[in-house]
Amino acid sequence: MKSIVRLFFILMTVMTHAKDPHSFAQPQHAVVTHLSWKAKVDLNTHTIHAQATWDLFIHQSVGYVVLDTRDLQIVQVTVDGQLSSWETGKNDPVLGAYLRIPIGPSAKKISIEYNTAPDAAALLWVEKPSVFLFTQSQAILARTWIPCQDSPGVRFTYDAQVEVPAGFLALMSAENPQQKSTDGVYRFNQPLPISSYLLALAVGDLKFKPISDRAGVYATADMIEASVFEFADLENMISSAEALYGEYRWKRYDLLILPGAFPFGGMENPMLTFVTPTVVCGDRSLVSLIAHELAHSWSGNLVTNATWDDFWLNEGFTVYFEFRIMEALYGKEVAEMLASLAIQDLYETMESLDADDTKLKLNLTGRDPDDGMNDVAYNKGYWFLRSIEEYIGRERMDHNIKRYFDQYAFKKMTTEQFVEILKSEWLDPGAYKAINPESWIYQPLVPSQAYPIVSSKIQAVDQYIQDTNEGKQELAALPWMSWTYQERYRFLSKVSWSEQRMNQMDQLFQVSKEKNSEIQFIWLMSSIRCDNRSQADFCTSFLGSVGRRKFILPLYRTMVQQGGWWAELAHSNFEQFQNQYHNVTKNSVEMLWQK
């Protein structure tokens, strides 16, 4: 009897339609199933002229189908080849406007011809050092370049034909060409169903080099060799991931190295992860970022958060999987250092957040989803899963996760549904009570039963930090040269710096010459905080060459908070560089002056 009741509840959660607060679409009535996209990219006017043809499946005929758009100029609409009227809603600055197209009960295809706006939020048109276009669709920016049902819970397959000027290569989150065509026309196919936030396009003067039969790197000529060196372990990562949680289902796994303006570290676009050039630092010290994006091929791209309120399901699982790949390839110590630093970041992030934003399950209704997406989903999500692992044991954990990816592949997942899975499949009542998933998910901060994560290497660094702060440790006697990047990062982020101590550190170990961008970032943060103006030029050149929001936003924020001279420098730098930044970064930084 009890199991019948449980089955009923599971069915209810699967069937009831969790409305996505960030999409106007009504997929419960008419849902898109396939996209045929025909586009011409104009690198001069910064616009795309395109035709999006969607196959429909009608669940319940209500007389129309609804898509999301933002800043699109609609030219014409057809339904099954016949010209049709259409209606657009009032524009919301975050959500854009709905596009409502009247359809009969047996409509099969709708086709929308349109132009994108030169300032379309997903797109960044780069001029220097070479002409480049890339998109960033997550979370809700796909609608600024393709009219779509822009909700992660809606999946579709796609094909595309894209025309670019001769001499450029076009790439998408799909089966990709490896060479330039003579006429600038490229054809793409994505045979597996994906969500709209995984739609991606890049255009540039690109080269391809293979790393294995199914993996390789795309980059501009100046970056290609260094990238092949940096990511030499790519194939090993894929096979380690498969050994953990089952077959890689997307055929190829390629990387695209983007211009410095790319606003993220990485973006898990299916078959073609987009990567910031700041991880190509020459010593392979930041490859965990690739492990992360690769892991999304299961957590996120196969099993997908139903709405952005469930974002932790994508990122928390991915961080857990990332660290497992890192452990498999580079050992437990490395993985545990990463975990320990993740916890450090989490605590620092939580300090500046409203309590509600430190819950795993978010409520982003009425907000830009971008505002609520922070370390909590990643690192508290990781910690929750890690605590489950420690309680039930690794063998059961891995069995559960593998099953989860298989059973829910190409489906959406809500937090509530995952709680049901925990209850009915992963945890017996005793374990459920001890772990208390509800406290992790629906309560702020970190529950007291969290498994204590300890890295002996990081602990050793902490001792050096304490001794340095107390004046008992000579900087010159630090084992800096034998430290990994993780140990160096910990030291730099935790020591109490003075201008004098920084200068001494730099003389001893040339910290300001480090190629690792995480190190550069934390060094600059300390420089600003202790008014070390000798690093101001370095700071300006960093802000002028990197667009990754994770670095750029805290740097500007700290400069503004510092006030006076630094605030002025922040202002003049932003004036100079803002047009180089992607919208995602630019808008976040702009807010600093609006508060």
Tokens 């989490």 belong to residue: 346
Judge contact between 373 and 360, C-beta under 8 A: no
Look up residue 435 and give its amino acid: I
Q: Closer to ligand BES at the Cβ: 142 or 401?
A: 142
Distance CA 242, CA 238 (A): 6
586 binds, among ligand BES, Zn ion, none (CB under 5 to 8 A by kind): none
**Per CB under 5 A, which region of 117-125, 160-168, 310-318, 523-531 contacts Zn ion?**
310-318
- Closest residue by beta carbon to ligand BES: 265
289 binds, among ligand BES, Zn ion, none (CB under 5 to 8 A by kind): ligand BES
195 binds, among ligand BES, Zn ion, none (CB under 5 to 8 A by kind): none
| CA nearest neighbour of 143 among 20, 265, 266, 234 | 20
Distance CA 278, CA 258 (A): 9
Judge contact between 263 and 582, C-beta under 8 A: yes
| Dihedral angle sign, alpha carbons of residues 21, 26, 27, 31 | negative
CB of 296 to Zn ion, least distance (A): 6
Active-site pick, 218, 378, 404, 556: 378
Per CB under 5 A, contacts with Zn ion among 74-113 are none
**Per CB under 5 A, which region of 30-38, 314-322, 484-492, 566-574 contacts Zn ion?**
314-322
CB of 323 to ligand BES, least distance (A): 11
Longest dimension (CA), the chain: 81
CB of 208 to ligand BES, least distance (A): 23
Q: Closer to ligand BES at the Cβ: 24 or 262?
A: 262
CB of 85 to ligand BES, least distance (A): 35
Q: Closer to ligand BES at the Cβ: 532 or 588?
A: 588
Active-site pick, 230, 268, 293, 487: 293
**Which token pair is 502?**
């920084």
Instruction: Please give the backbone phi and psi of residue 353, each rounded to the nearest 5 degrees, phi first.
Output: -105, 150
Burial class (CB in 10 A: 0-12, 13-18, 19+), 245: buried
CB of 369 to Zn ion, least distance (A): 14
Angle at 429 between CA 423 and CA 430, to 5 degrees: 135
Q: Closer to Zn ion at the Cβ: 204 or 372?
A: 372
522 binds, among Zn ion, ligand BES, none (CB under 5 to 8 A by kind): none
Burial class (CB in 10 A: 0-12, 13-18, 19+), 482: exposed
267 binds, among ligand BES, Zn ion, none (CB under 5 to 8 A by kind): ligand BES
Helices vs strands, H then E, count in the chain: 21, 21
Catalytic status, residue 347: no
Q: Closer to Zn ion at the Cβ: 208 or 231?
A: 231
Instruction: Please give the residue ranges that form the binding site for ligand BES (CB under 6 A).
Output: 138-139, 264-268, 289, 292-293, 296, 315, 373, 378, 550
Judge contact between 349 and 376, C-beta under 8 A: yes
CB of 286 to Zn ion, least distance (A): 14
Secondary structure (DSSP) of 441-453: HHSSS--TTSPPP
Catalytic status, residue 293: yes
254 binds, among ligand BES, Zn ion, none (CB under 5 to 8 A by kind): none
Judge contact between 129 and 261, C-beta under 8 A: no
CB of 315 to Zn ion, least distance (A): 5
Q: Closer to ligand BES at the Cβ: 140 or 465?
A: 140
Active site positions, annotated: 293, 378
- Which residues are at the interface with Zn ion (CB under 5 A)? 315, 318
